[in-house]
Amino acid sequence: MKTWRILTAWNWRIIQKPVWLIIALGSAAQMAAVCIYSCLRTSAAITYNRVLINSLSWIIFALEFLAVLGAAQRPVLMMNGKTKLGYTMQTLPSSASTLFFSNAASTALAIMCVFVAQLLLTFIMYFPATALTTMTAQTYIPQYPMPTPDMQLSLVRTVFFNLLLPTNLFGIITLPLYIIAPSLLLPGAFFHKGMGRIFGIIIGVFGAAVCGYMLARQILARGYWNHYDTLPIIALLLVIMIFSVLWTLRTIKRAKWL
């Protein structure tokens, strides 16, 4: 357990700068997109949640999420190959699972940083978005009676708060899945060589696509859809996750990744 904590902290030290840089760039892009859209005539007298959707800030968030996932794989890429670092990691006094799960833990930590930063950004963007949409409405439709905005109600109804602070059973189940599935599938792909790595990347892309599919449905439908039709997909994803983890641990134990 001590070695696992040390390796996880070492991995986080490597990825923290690119992770925070990607989060900062993504946040700046979302802020710019929301502010620009809030100044357009089509933003007059619409809700904050509609501003987030129409400004395509959720697409920027998805790209930010994927970029962070890629940056989080830097430690395992540095350990790959017949290098001094690779042999040092392989000969550490720990089990074969320690290397894999330390990379999975650092990836999960990076994902959680993205989620927390997005919640904070959603709160911050509310103020300029509300001010700009109100000003736009007064400019183009001055006869329209502007209601007093309710910040708490507006934030609760946003797509990001619905996703990252779920209030229904399906959201509570899928939120950990969005963290665990990429954290286990993507690092595992880079512990393989040759065709094994290609197959591992295909598995990782498939897992990301499944999570993206459920995420997009939640965003576009705001959770008001039949959850039961995704249960077979979730079950398939869980089976693939178990297979990928066992396969990766076997590869590490046999030292095929060096």
Please give the share of the chain, as a percent, with pLDDT higher than 70.
83
Measure the CA–CA gap between 26 and 65, rounded to whole angstroms.
9
Instruction: Kindly tell me the sign of the dihedral angle through the C-alpha atoms of 61, 244, 108, 230.
Output: positive
- Among 5-14, 15-24, 59-68, the range with the most confident prediction by mean pLDDT is 15-24
Burial code (b: 16+ CB inside 10 Å, e: under 16) for 171-189 equals beebeebbbbbbbbbbbbb
Q: How many CB atoms lie within 10 A of CB 109?
A: 19
Question: What is the identity of the amino acid at 228?
Answer: Y
Reading the block at residue 1, the tokens are 């357990």
Q: What whole-number distance in Å separates Cα of residue 87 and Cα of residue 81? A: 9
User: For the chain, what is the mean pLDDT?
Assistant: 81
Give 141's DSSP letter.
-
**How high is the pLDDT of residue 210?**
79
Residue 17's pLDDT is 93
- From the list 190, 34, 208, the residue with the least C-alpha distance to 111 is 208
Distance CA 170, CA 162 (A): 11
Between 228 and 25, the higher pLDDT residue? 25
64-78, 163-177, 231-245: least confident range = 163-177
Look at residue 142 and tell me whether its pLDDT is greater than 60: yes
Model confidence over 144-201: pLDDT tens digits? 665 666 778 788 878 888 788 877 777 787 888 888 988 888 877 777 777 777 888 8
Say whether pLDDT at 58 is over 80: yes
Q: Which residue has the tokens 């930590």?
A: 109
| Two structure tokens written together for 3 | 């070695």
| Cβ–Cβ under 8 Å, residues 168 and 223 | yes
